[in-house]
Amino acid sequence: MGRPKVARLWLRIAILDLVLYWSLYLRLQQFLGRVVICDRYIDDTRLDFRRNFPTIAFERMLLWRVLEWVTPTPDAAFLLWVPVDESLRRSKEKGEPFPDDEETLAWRLKGYMDDSMFPPDRYIRMDCREDVSKISGEIIEIVTERLVISTCGCRF
Protein backbone atom coordinates (compact mmCIF):
# COMPACT_ATOMS: atom_id res chain seq x y z
CA MET A 1 0.00 0.00 0.00
CA GLY A 2 3.05 2.24 -0.13
CA ARG A 3 2.20 3.21 -3.68
CA PRO A 4 -0.52 5.91 -3.77
CA LYS A 5 -2.27 4.57 -6.87
CA VAL A 6 -2.47 1.06 -5.41
CA ALA A 7 -3.76 2.43 -2.10
CA ARG A 8 -6.44 4.52 -3.83
CA LEU A 9 -7.54 1.56 -5.95
CA TRP A 10 -7.72 -0.72 -2.90
CA LEU A 11 -9.67 1.91 -1.00
CA ARG A 12 -12.17 2.32 -3.85
CA ILE A 13 -12.69 -1.45 -4.08
CA ALA A 14 -13.16 -1.70 -0.30
CA ILE A 15 -15.70 1.14 -0.27
CA LEU A 16 -17.57 -0.33 -3.23
CA ASP A 17 -17.71 -3.67 -1.44
CA LEU A 18 -19.20 -1.93 1.61
CA VAL A 19 -21.74 -0.07 -0.55
CA LEU A 20 -22.95 -3.36 -1.99
CA TYR A 21 -22.93 -5.16 1.35
CA TRP A 22 -24.61 -2.49 3.45
CA SER A 23 -27.02 -1.11 0.86
CA LEU A 24 -28.16 -4.41 -0.64
CA TYR A 25 -27.42 -7.37 1.61
CA LEU A 26 -28.24 -5.73 4.95
CA ARG A 27 -31.39 -4.10 3.64
CA LEU A 28 -32.50 -7.45 2.21
CA GLN A 29 -31.97 -9.06 5.60
CA GLN A 30 -33.99 -6.29 7.27
CA PHE A 31 -36.73 -6.66 4.66
CA LEU A 32 -36.89 -10.38 5.47
CA GLY A 33 -37.50 -9.44 9.11
CA ARG A 34 -34.11 -10.49 10.43
CA VAL A 35 -32.34 -8.60 13.18
CA VAL A 36 -29.04 -7.31 11.80
CA ILE A 37 -26.10 -6.80 14.10
CA CYS A 38 -23.03 -5.16 12.57
CA ASP A 39 -19.56 -5.34 13.95
CA ARG A 40 -17.32 -2.65 12.48
CA TYR A 41 -20.00 -0.32 11.26
CA ILE A 42 -19.35 2.80 9.17
CA ASP A 43 -17.79 4.98 11.87
CA ASP A 44 -15.34 2.24 12.81
CA THR A 45 -14.54 1.83 9.12
CA ARG A 46 -13.90 5.58 8.92
CA LEU A 47 -11.53 5.26 11.87
CA ASP A 48 -9.67 2.36 10.24
CA PHE A 49 -9.37 4.19 6.93
CA ARG A 50 -8.02 7.28 8.70
CA ARG A 51 -5.40 5.11 10.35
CA ASN A 52 -4.45 3.08 7.29
CA PHE A 53 -4.74 5.82 4.63
CA PRO A 54 -3.76 9.04 6.40
CA THR A 55 -2.72 10.82 3.18
CA ILE A 56 -5.88 10.02 1.21
CA ALA A 57 -8.89 12.31 1.65
CA PHE A 58 -11.31 9.39 1.27
CA GLU A 59 -14.14 11.25 3.04
CA ARG A 60 -14.26 13.67 0.11
CA MET A 61 -14.51 10.84 -2.43
CA LEU A 62 -17.87 10.49 -4.18
CA LEU A 63 -17.88 6.76 -3.45
CA TRP A 64 -17.49 7.39 0.30
CA ARG A 65 -20.38 9.86 0.21
CA VAL A 66 -22.49 7.26 -1.58
CA LEU A 67 -21.57 4.77 1.14
CA GLU A 68 -22.69 7.17 3.86
CA TRP A 69 -25.93 7.83 2.01
CA VAL A 70 -26.86 4.16 1.42
CA THR A 71 -25.82 2.78 4.79
CA PRO A 72 -28.90 1.95 6.88
CA THR A 73 -29.31 3.63 10.25
CA PRO A 74 -29.15 1.07 13.05
CA ASP A 75 -31.91 0.70 15.60
CA ALA A 76 -29.17 0.40 18.22
CA ALA A 77 -25.46 1.10 17.89
CA PHE A 78 -23.00 -0.17 20.46
CA LEU A 79 -19.38 0.69 20.99
CA LEU A 80 -17.79 -2.19 22.84
CA TRP A 81 -14.39 -1.30 24.21
CA VAL A 82 -11.60 -2.65 26.39
CA PRO A 83 -8.34 -1.06 27.50
CA VAL A 84 -5.28 -1.67 25.35
CA ASP A 85 -3.66 -4.17 27.73
CA GLU A 86 -6.85 -6.25 27.80
CA SER A 87 -7.13 -6.14 24.01
CA LEU A 88 -3.53 -7.35 23.68
CA ARG A 89 -4.18 -10.16 26.18
CA ARG A 90 -7.34 -11.29 24.35
CA SER A 91 -5.64 -11.22 20.94
CA LYS A 92 -2.86 -13.41 22.26
CA GLU A 93 -5.31 -15.73 24.02
CA LYS A 94 -7.35 -16.40 20.88
CA GLY A 95 -4.29 -16.62 18.62
CA GLU A 96 -5.24 -13.63 16.47
CA PRO A 97 -3.37 -14.09 13.16
CA PHE A 98 -2.91 -10.35 12.50
CA PRO A 99 -3.14 -8.57 15.86
CA ASP A 100 -2.89 -4.81 16.06
CA ASP A 101 0.14 -3.47 17.87
CA GLU A 102 -0.12 -1.51 21.10
CA GLU A 103 0.25 1.86 19.33
CA THR A 104 -2.60 1.09 16.92
CA LEU A 105 -4.86 -0.16 19.71
CA ALA A 106 -4.18 2.98 21.76
CA TRP A 107 -4.91 5.18 18.74
CA ARG A 108 -8.14 3.28 18.04
CA LEU A 109 -9.27 3.42 21.69
CA LYS A 110 -8.71 7.17 21.71
CA GLY A 111 -10.98 7.40 18.65
CA TYR A 112 -13.62 5.23 20.32
CA MET A 113 -13.72 7.57 23.28
CA ASP A 114 -13.92 10.69 21.10
CA ASP A 115 -17.51 11.98 21.20
CA SER A 116 -17.08 13.65 17.81
CA MET A 117 -16.27 10.28 16.21
CA PHE A 118 -18.73 8.17 18.19
CA PRO A 119 -21.41 10.51 19.55
CA PRO A 120 -23.04 9.30 22.78
CA ASP A 121 -26.49 10.13 21.42
CA ARG A 122 -25.87 7.56 18.66
CA TYR A 123 -23.63 4.97 20.33
CA ILE A 124 -24.06 3.09 23.57
CA ARG A 125 -20.56 2.63 24.97
CA MET A 126 -20.00 -0.55 26.92
CA ASP A 127 -16.95 -1.44 28.96
CA CYS A 128 -16.31 -5.04 27.93
CA ARG A 129 -14.18 -5.93 30.91
CA GLU A 130 -17.49 -6.92 32.47
CA ASP A 131 -18.76 -10.50 32.42
CA VAL A 132 -19.78 -11.66 28.93
CA SER A 133 -23.23 -12.79 30.09
CA LYS A 134 -23.88 -9.40 31.70
CA ILE A 135 -22.86 -7.51 28.55
CA SER A 136 -24.84 -9.79 26.22
CA GLY A 137 -27.86 -9.49 28.52
CA GLU A 138 -27.68 -5.69 28.36
CA ILE A 139 -27.35 -5.76 24.57
CA ILE A 140 -30.31 -8.13 24.19
CA GLU A 141 -32.41 -5.94 26.48
CA ILE A 142 -31.60 -2.74 24.57
CA VAL A 143 -32.05 -4.32 21.13
CA THR A 144 -35.37 -5.89 22.15
CA GLU A 145 -36.63 -2.57 23.50
CA ARG A 146 -35.56 -0.71 20.35
CA LEU A 147 -37.17 -3.30 18.09
CA VAL A 148 -40.46 -3.07 20.00
CA ILE A 149 -40.39 0.72 19.74
CA SER A 150 -39.54 0.72 16.03
CA THR A 151 -42.16 -1.93 15.24
CA CYS A 152 -45.11 -0.37 17.01
CA GLY A 153 -43.95 3.17 17.55
CA CYS A 154 -44.73 2.95 21.25
CA ARG A 155 -42.85 2.41 24.45
CA PHE A 156 -43.87 -0.17 27.06
What is the per-residue pLDDT across 98-110, written as a single tens digit (0 to 9) for each? Answer: 999 999 999 999 9
Domain boundaries, the chain: 1-72, 75-156
Judged by DSSP in three states, 78 sits in strand
Give the DSSP H/E element, type plus range, for residue 124. Answer: strand 124-127
**Calpha distance 93→103 (Å, rounded):** 19
pLDDT, tens only, 36-67: 777 678 999 999 999 999 999 999 999 999 99
SS3 6: helix
pTM of the model: 0.82
Amino acid at 152: C
